[in-house]
Amino acid sequence: MEFTSRGNNQPTAPQASGKRKRIDWAARTVRIEIFVLLVGCALLLAAVSLYLGFSGNLNAESKQVNSTEFQAIFLNNGQVYFGKLDSVNGSFFVLKNVYYLQSPSTSSSSTSSSNNTYTLEKLGVNELHAPEDQMVINRSQVTFWENLKSSGKVVQAIQQYQKNPSAASQVQSSTGTGQSSTTTPSTTGTGSSTTQP
C-alpha cells in the first residue's frame, strides 16, 4: 500500500510545480509592467523639466519685449528690420508691421561722404513679390534684437510714414558732423519697383 500511495503522490507533485511556474510568470509580467511604468514616468519627468528649463528662458526673453514700442531685429547678413515683435519662441521670431531701410543709391551725387540718407520702406508696398506685412524669422539668423525708443529717428520716420503713407520717409545719419535729421520728401516714384535688400 505504501507503493500505491507513493505512486498517487508523484503525479500530483508535477501539477503543483506547474502552478508555480504560472505564478512566477505572472509575477514576472507584473514586474516588467512596473519597470516600464517607472521608466516612462522618469522620462516624462525629465522631458517636463527640460521643457520648463528652456521655456523659462524664452519666457524671460518674451517679457523683455516692450509691446508699446517698436523693435529692431539685426540679422546675420547685416540687414535690420523694424516692427512689432509679436512672438518669440525657441525657433522663430514673428515680426509684424515691418519696415526696413533702403541703402542710398550709388548714382546720387547729392550724398556727401559725411551724411548717408536711407529711405524707410514698408514691407509689402514696393517689393516685386508683394509679401504680407509679417515676417517669420529663423532664430539662428538673428544676431540680436532690441526695443526702440519713440524718440529715435527710425521710430519718428515710421510715425511720419503712418501719418502719410504716400510720402517716403528718409533717415539721415551722420558719421562725423553730429548733425542728423529725419526728412519727408513729397512722394516716391510710382512706376519703379524696388526689391528688398
Q: What is the pLDDT of residue 186?
A: 36
Q: What is the pLDDT of residue 61?
A: 72
* Per-residue pLDDT at 196 exceeds 50: no
What residues form DSSP beta bridges with 144? 74
Neighbours of 174 (CB within 10 A): 13
More confident call, 90 vs 169? 90
* Per-residue pLDDT at 111 exceeds 60: no
Residue spans of the domains in the chain: they are 1-63, 71-183
Closest CA to 109 of 101, 98, 99, 117: 117
Q: What is the pLDDT of residue 129?
A: 83
Over residues 157-163, the mean pLDDT reads 89
Each residue of 49-107: pLDDT tens digit? 877 766 655 567 777 888 889 999 999 999 999 999 888 887 888 999 999 988 766 44
The Cα 172–Cα 41 span in angstroms is 60
* Residue whose grid cell is 511604468: 37
Each residue of 139-148: pLDDT tens digit? 899 999 999 9
pTM higher than 0.85: no
Q: What is the pLDDT of residue 197?
A: 47
Each residue of 1-24: pLDDT tens digit? 555 555 555 555 455 555 554 456
